[in-house]
Amino acid sequence: MARLMEGKVAVVTGAGRGIGAAIATMMAEHGAKVVVNDIGVSLAGEGGDQSPADEVVAAIKKAGGQAVANFDSVAEFNSAAKIVQCAVDTFGRIDCVVNNAGILRDVIFHKMTEDDWDSVLKVMLKGAFNMCRNAADHFRKQESGSFVHMTSTSGLIGAMGQANYGAAKLGMVGLSKNIAVDMQRFNVRSNCIAPTAWTRMTASIPPKDPAAKKRIEQRMQVSAGHNAPLAVFLASDAAKDVTGQVFAVRKNEIFLMSQSRPMRGIHRAEGWTPDSCAEHMLPALKSGFFPLDRTADVFPWDSI
């Protein structure tokens, strides 16, 4: 097996369980030295248990790899700096950051509290910024580096009861693309993955109808490990020409997702008024409007 990350140092946040643990483990299998970051909180961001990160590190070491556990939070800028510094202090450098840490506060929008919103955005979107900004100085100096961000079809497409989560995940796409643009001069890459897996997080979402229950039964057969190969590839030098892209994984399927581009335009030499928007713009463009579809509408087939 080719070891695509030989000599690399990677930080994976939220790596004590699920997708993060699978990515950290496979990166170690491919030769990376890994900082397994996880503060061990509940899905809602409460409590703290260091054993999940310790267990992942122990498994990596037992298999002959190198890893260290880290328990700092991504949600605060100075705390995120400690995660990056942990990689530098322990392994001498940093080559990749995987922004995987996240929490859930699912609730229908008209019942969502300010804390529901702030807590999710702080961990996922601000947390991704905190990690990237602290790693960016190292990447710029060494003129190399890779960011891999875990986004979601909840943001790319839409979902019920996840306005906070979807906003954070779509925000990560914008963050990733702009990092890719700003840091390309330093040979730094930034890409997103929208994963699919049966994890502690997805298991916490109750089915709302029989169709949702059937999808859950299908998703239970998709492991977190199905998302790891793409993450390892994107973090490696084999992906040196891949940046600013958004991918989705559904078991054995990998998709390149679209990005916003103009679809159709219309022009009025005299300019626009509210009335002409209603009389001209609306009928001209309405056939191209996107429906209020959700992830299940766009991916209606079995991923097995």
Question: Region 37-45: what's the mean pLDDT?
Answer: 71
Evaluate if residue 222 carries a pLDDT over 90: no
pLDDT of amino acid 43: 55
Domain segments of the chain as ranges? 9-259
Supply the mean pLDDT for the chain.
92
Evaluate if residue 201 carries a pLDDT over 80: no
Question: Region 215-222: what's the mean pLDDT?
Answer: 58
More confident residue, 82 or 221: 82
CATH of segment(s) 9-259 = 3.40.50.720
Nearby residues of 5 by Cβ (< 8 Å), 6 or more positions away: 27, 30, 31, 32, 96, 232, 235, 236
- Going by pLDDT thresholds of 50, 70 and 90, the confidence category of residue 34 is very high
Give the pLDDT confidence of 109-157 residue by residue, as tens digits. 999 999 999 999 999 999 999 999 999 999 999 999 999 999 999 999 9
Give the pLDDT confidence of 245-289 residue by residue, as tens digits. 999 999 899 999 999 999 999 999 999 999 999 999 999 999 999
Give the pLDDT confidence of 86-115 residue by residue, as tens digits. 999 999 999 999 999 999 999 999 999 999
In terms of phi and psi (left: phi > 0; alpha: psi -120 to 50; beta: otherwise), the region of 174 is alpha
pLDDT of amino acid 199: 53
Q: How large a percentage of the chain has pLDDT more than 90?
A: 83
Evaluate if residue 202 carries a pLDDT over 80: no
Active-site amino acid positions? 165
